[in-house]
Amino acid sequence: MVITLLSISDLSVRYGRSVKALHGVSFEVPEQTVVAVLGSNGAGKSTLLRAISGTLSLHRGEITSGTIHLDGTRIDRMDPASIVRRRLGQVPENRQVFGRMSVDENLRAGGLATEASRRAAARDAVLDLFPKLAERLSQPAGLLSGGEQQMLAIGRAMMGEPKVLLLDEPSLGLAPQIIERIGKVVSEINQRGTTVLLVEQNAMMALTVAHTAVVLEVGELKLRGDADELKRSEDIQRLYLGGHAESEEHADQQQGEAQERVERRRKSLGVWTA
C-alpha cells in the first residue's frame, strides 16, 4: 500500500496584496520516494518549498487557501521550528551555510532539534555520507568549495533526521561533475529511508533520480507523472532539456554547457562560486 507522507491540497500563495505566486496546487509525495518539481524561473518552485517549511512570512508571503499535511498532521499553520520538530528538513537555494562557523559547528546547529541521545548517530551518518566533511570538521565553512558547501548544507539538514527533505536547486552554480555527485547523494539519501522533494532546474539530473515529477508553470501545476515517462516527453525535452534530446549523454552535455554559462556569468558579476 502506498503511504502518502506529504500532501499539498489546493494551495494558493501570494506576496503582498496582489502578487499571486501559486494557484490551487495539489499533489502528494509518497513515503520513501523522490518527487521532482520542475519549472522555469518564476514558476513558483521556491515558493512551494517556503510554504511547506513555514518560512513564507520571512519573504512577505502568505498562504491564502489550501492545506499541507505531513504524515497526517496539518502543518500549514505551524511555525518553522514546530515543522522541523515534525522532522521536515530543508536545504535552501544557494546553500546558506554559516560561513564563519566551522563545518562541525554547522552540523551541530543542524542537530539542535534532534534528541540529544540521537545526535552522535546522526552526525556519524552524515560523515559516512560525506567523508570529505570529516576531513574538514575544523575548517570554516566559508572556505569550502561550492560543492563542499552544498554537501555541508545537505548534511546540516540531515542532522535533524528528517522524514522529508526539501532540496531547493542543489545543483545551482556547480560544475557538471559535482552535479552528478549531488544526484547520487540524493539517491543514496532516499535509499536510506528519507523522502525527498527536489526542486531543480537541471531537469535531466532531477528526472534521473526521481520516481515521479510535477511541472509548475506560472504558479499552476501543469504536468505530473512518472519521471521516466516525463523524461521521454517531447514537451519536457523542448522546455527543459534544450530541445529533442537524441540521448541521455547529449542531454547531459546540454545541461553541462548551460551550467558553465551560468558559472561564467556569475564570475563576471563578481560572485565567488569556487
pLDDT tens readout for residues 203-220: 999 999 999 999 999 999
Give a yes or no: residue 60 inside a domain: no
Under DSSP, the state recorded for 71 is T
Three-class secondary structure of residue 59 per DSSP:
helix
Higher pLDDT, 249 or 34: 34
Residue 272 has pLDDT above 60, yes or no: no
Question: Pick from 148, 154, 194, 253: which is nearest to 5 by CA?
Answer: 194
Residue 194 has pLDDT above 90, yes or no: yes
Residue 110 has pLDDT above 70, yes or no: yes
Tell me, what's the pLDDT at 240?
Answer: 77
Give a yes or no: residue 41 inside a domain: yes
Give a yes or no: residue 67 inside a domain: no
CA distance 44 to 160: 26
Give a yes or no: residue 69 inside a domain: no
Higher pLDDT, 246 or 22: 22
Give a yes or no: residue 73 inside a domain: no
CA distance 135 to 103: 10
Number of folded domains that form the chain: 1
Q: Supply angle C-alpha 87, 109, 63, rounded to 5.
A: 45
Q: Supply angle C-alpha 34, 39, 45, rounded to 5.
A: 70
Give a yes or no: residue 162 inside a domain: yes
User: Any residues with CB less than 8 A from the CB of 135 and at least 6 apart, and which?
Assistant: none
Residue the block writes with cell 520516494: 33
Tell me, what's the pLDDT at 233?
Answer: 86
Domain region containing 185: 33-50+78-268
Three-class secondary structure of residue 62 per DSSP:
strand
**Residue 54: half-sphere exposure toward Cβ, Cα within 13 Å:** 17
pTM of the model: 0.84
Give a yes or no: residue 68 inside a domain: no
Give pLDDT tens digits for 218-260.
Answer: 999 999 999 999 988 888 888 776 543 333 444 445 445 545 5
Give a yes or no: residue 273 inside a domain: no
Tell me, what's the pLDDT at 251?
Answer: 41
Task: Give me the chain's average pLDDT, please.
Answer: 88
CATH code of 41's domain: 3.40.50.300
Give pLDDT tens digits for 67-100.
Answer: 999 999 999 999 999 999 999 999 988 888 999 9
User: Any residues with CB less than 8 A from the CB of 150 and at least 6 apart, and which?
Assistant: 91, 95, 170, 174, 178, 182
Tell me, what's the pLDDT at 243?
Answer: 43
Number of H helices, E strands in the chain: 11, 10
Tell me, what's the pLDDT at 254?
Answer: 45
224: which strand partners? 214
Summarize the confidence of residues 113-125 as an average pLDDT.
Answer: 93
